[in-house]
Structure 1
Amino acid sequence: MDTRFPFVDWFRNSSPYINAHRGRTFVILIEGEAMARGRGEQLIQDLALLHTLGVRLVVVFGIRPQVQQALEAAGVSPGQHQGRWVADGEVMACIERVAAQQRLWLEARFSLGLPNTPMHGVELTAVSGNLVMAKPLGVREGVDFDRSGEVRRVRATAIEGLLEKGSLVVLPPLGFSSTGEVFDLDASDVAQHAAMALSADKLILLGEASGLFDASGQLQRQLTPDEALPLLDQAPAGSELARHLGAACRAARHGVARTHLLSWHDHDALLGELFTRDGVGTMITRHRYEQLRPAELRDIGGLLELLEPLERRGMLVPRSRERLEHEIDDYVVIERDGMIIGCAALHRFDDAAMGELACVAVHDDYRGGARGELLLAEIERRARRLGLVALFALTTHTTHWFFEHGFRLADLQALPPLRRDTYNHARKSKVLVKALG
């Protein structure tokens, strides 16, 4: 194979995601640290690419480090409580000035179109305004937060109108009240409420961390809000992790299809998360991104695609579309983001109270993740519910895998009579049996 242009294969593999993302609404939070550390230019180029691919973008930006620097330069030391600044008049004047400067910088960068730059030929209209309404935090635990506030509502209809016209909407971490005041808001809170109000397809939070990790340091690719709750409880109050994880979980529980935690340190994180099957960070979703479920007729095409390489290598007996359709209720599948990556079948032989574990297959790219064990466990649960006392399997290639999971060698006489009569002697498959306790 010609590998002079490896990006071509990546581009081909990303095409399903290009189609899937077109016309979708993404709310993307970029924390102020990313801009302060010089990552703004690259991220804006990636956002421009998403825009040209038809993604409807709402960009929320943070300003915490820039405000901190400005306060230090002015000799102002703001009070803090519960992880938030107490925004009195002096502090708020600094916040407003920095937010305006950052917004203008972003709009200028979205307008960049010089030849020999990634933005050449891209016309982006970036729009901001009084799109987020706020209310004061008030007095909490005896502390008056003054003009530190929280989101009251997002003007979703106005934002939708701007997105429909092809604009990119920019939201600063500021909110406006019905009394004409401006309030300091947490950027992740703005992003969360915007995603919920718009019923966004994705909420993407770009922060320091590359995602969520378990106790052994393993990146957690996918979690439900309930699974992420222990990590949220452990996060220091007011920390970026607490703010991002809290926003992601609340958004997922309130209708945002998928929320993503990514690191702005990784130059490939945004595009890698959106245009590859496995992504690079942590996704939080109410519905499992990868799920084990009963097979349906709509899965036939995916099953044929999964099984064909194994049939070609002689590891599985070929199965026609008609046979799969007839036996579809016997199958369970593992689906990952719309792709069938694993399957197994249980064929019943009630006269012998036995079941055949058949067609166990896992896609080459997803082996080594205990998916075979997951399929076997589900088949065993099915068999027990049906009152079967044993499973048997016929194999030519994977005898040791069955040994490792409690099967033992047997002879043909151990098979139910009907299956014994249809045994293919030319294949010389090993017979393996496992009692179900």
Structure 2
Amino acid sequence: MDTSFPFADWFRSSSTYIDAHRGRTFVVLIEGEGLEAERRAPLIQDLALLHTLGVRLVLVFGARTQVRRALAQARVEPRRHQGRFVVDEQAMTIIEREISALRLAIEARLSPGLSNTPLHGVEINAISGNLVMARPLGIREGVDFLRGGEVRRVRTAAIRNLLDQRSLVVLPPLGYSSTGEVFDIDAADIARHAAVSLVADKLIILGHARGLYDAQGGLLRQLSPGEAQGLVCDDDGELAEHVHIACTAARQGVARTHLLSWRDRDALLAELFTRDGVGTMITRERYEQLRTARIDDIGGLQELLRPLEERGMLVARSRERLEQEIDDYVVIERDGMVIGCAALYAYPEAACGELACVAVHGSYRGSDRGSTLLAEVEKRARAAGLEQLFALTTHTLHWFLEHDFTLADLEALPRRRRECYNLQRNSRVLIKALAAA
């Protein structure tokens, strides 16, 4: 008699994923429709399970469905402009009420349950608060959005501190301004900002759609941002918004974003604990490499550097100079495009080198690519027997200070470099000692 249980085999195969996810930071966005009273319990139970398995969770929830229903019941019809409500005081009162009610319902579901419920004996500290700072959308095309706002920043240090204390952080679609006002914020935008600022391991989006499909109707399991954006248009509504958020997050440093549907009761666990998953994953890892520059990179380098040269952030470099110095450069190439570079000019007589021409394409800033370039230059400098790096900057002083450079006098530069120092630019001098390899 066969007494095996399929569940046991699944549980054994999931052990690798359980270990891999422990201690990782996941930002989970659930749209309001997925949190209706008849649907929310299974989703919140799965989030509680992830928490007990050691995942550091930030839950961002939407309330669009609940707010629209409440506005209709109150016979309030806010004006729409550029896809957003113009939120007056009457509408904001209703929005705050509905969001508060939904937050309380989520927190109640995360509280210890009765003996016959899945959360029996599980104590979860669900913490919310003024963790999202906002600014008003202001006046656009002559229309004042009033209490409609956008994310200014999330309070990263405060959220990390809560996660370190084993709390589950809950972020409602509201933001707080420095003047003490509360603004209506798009939940998807909060999720993106939170994922990027926390350098989350995953951004998980639970919306209406299961993911993205090919022309034959087959689910696409893994895509790059460029591939994903080509599959949606503005008319796709919520899905287009989610794809845009996912692609932007990927370009700003979030390793993986998962598009799932709240319609599938098992979507969250099946995506995270099975090999193939059930949704679409958008990842930044597929077409990116760090390497030594080549002559055929000259055109890409010029395109990358030109905007920074025009703004006076970098000294202009001719094509001839780039060709002569090409061996001094490292580049980040993504899908055939140069999106980052840095140069190392060695001064062996002084046992030091100059970190120069650090640049990252505007669409790919806000991630760790600048730090990646610096680490590679440091590695090469140590291999060449250099003991310190120096840099000259007019615009990015704080970035260098954050990466352990210290301010120095002009006299700290090697004589050869000091003789060609441009007094008109008045660049700051920064020095960093290199630890032995």
Q: Determine helix, strand or coil for the equivalent of 1:220.
A: coil
Tell me the distance in 2 between the aligned counterparts of 1:142 and 1:214: 41
Instruction: Show CA shifts across 1:199-246 (max 9, x none).
Output: 0000000000010112221111000001112124x2327x21121111
* Counterparts of residues 266-415 of structure 1 (less than 5 Å): 266-288=264-286
Name 1:259's counterpart in structure 2. Answer: 257
Name 1:236's counterpart in structure 2. Answer: 235
On the 8 A contact 1:222/1:288 being kept in 2, the answer is no
On the 8 A contact 2:154/2:197 being kept in 1, the answer is yes
Per-residue deviation at 1:112? Answer: 3.4
Tell me the distance in 1 between the aligned counterparts of 2:158 and 2:67: 29
Q: Determine helix, strand or coil for the equivalent of 1:243.
A: helix
Letter in 2 for 1:164: D
On the 8 A contact 2:33/2:64 being kept in 1, the answer is yes
Is 1:175 matched up with 2:197? no
On the 8 A contact 2:112/2:121 being kept in 1, the answer is no
Tell me the distance in 2 between the aligned counterparts of 1:163 and 1:56: 6
Tell me the distance in 1 between the aligned counterparts of 2:10 and 2:2: 14
Per-residue deviation at 1:145? Answer: 1.1
On the 8 A contact 1:56/1:166 being kept in 2, the answer is yes
Aligned-pair identity in percent equals: 68
* Counterparts of residues 2-21 of structure 1 (less than 5 Å): 2=2, 4-21=4-21
Tell me the distance in 1 between the aligned counterparts of 2:234 and 2:216: 17
Name 2:204's counterpart in structure 1. Answer: 204
* Counterparts of residues 84-233 of structure 1 (less than 5 Å): 84-232=84-232
Letter in 2 for 1:54: G
More displaced stretch, 189-198 vs 210-219: 210-219
The runs of 5 or more residues in structure 2 that have no matched partner are: 288-437
Is 1:39 matched up with 2:48? no
Instruction: Show CA shifts across 1:91-118 (max 9, x none).
Output: 1111111111111111111113210110
Per-residue deviation at 1:4? Answer: 2.9
- Which TM-score applies when normalising by structure 1? 0.64
Q: Determine helix, strand or coil for the equivalent of 2:101.
A: helix
Per-residue deviation at 1:288? Answer: 3.1
Tell me the distance in 2 between the aligned counterparts of 1:185 and 1:145: 12
Q: Determine helix, strand or coil for the equivalent of 2:183.
A: strand
Per-residue deviation at 1:141? Answer: 2.0
Instruction: Show CA shifts across 1:349-381 (max 9, x none).
Output: xxxxxxxxxxxxxxxxxxxxxxxxxxxxxxxxx
Per-residue deviation at 1:121? Answer: 1.2
Instruction: Show CA shifts across 1:298-327 (max 9, x none).
Output: xxxxxxxxxxxxxxxxxxxxxxxxxxxxxx
Tell me the distance in 1 between the aligned counterparts of 2:213 and 2:234: 12
Tell me the distance in 1 between the aligned counterparts of 2:37 and 2:259: 19
Tell me the distance in 2 between the aligned counterparts of 1:141 and 1:241: 26
Letter in 2 for 1:282: T
Q: Determine helix, strand or coil for the equivalent of 1:219.
A: coil
Tell me the distance in 2 between the aligned counterparts of 1:83 and 1:2: 58
Structure of greater Rg: 1
Q: Determine helix, strand or coil for the equivalent of 2:216.
A: coil
On the 8 A contact 2:60/2:172 being kept in 1, the answer is yes
- Which TM-score applies when normalising by structure 2? 0.64
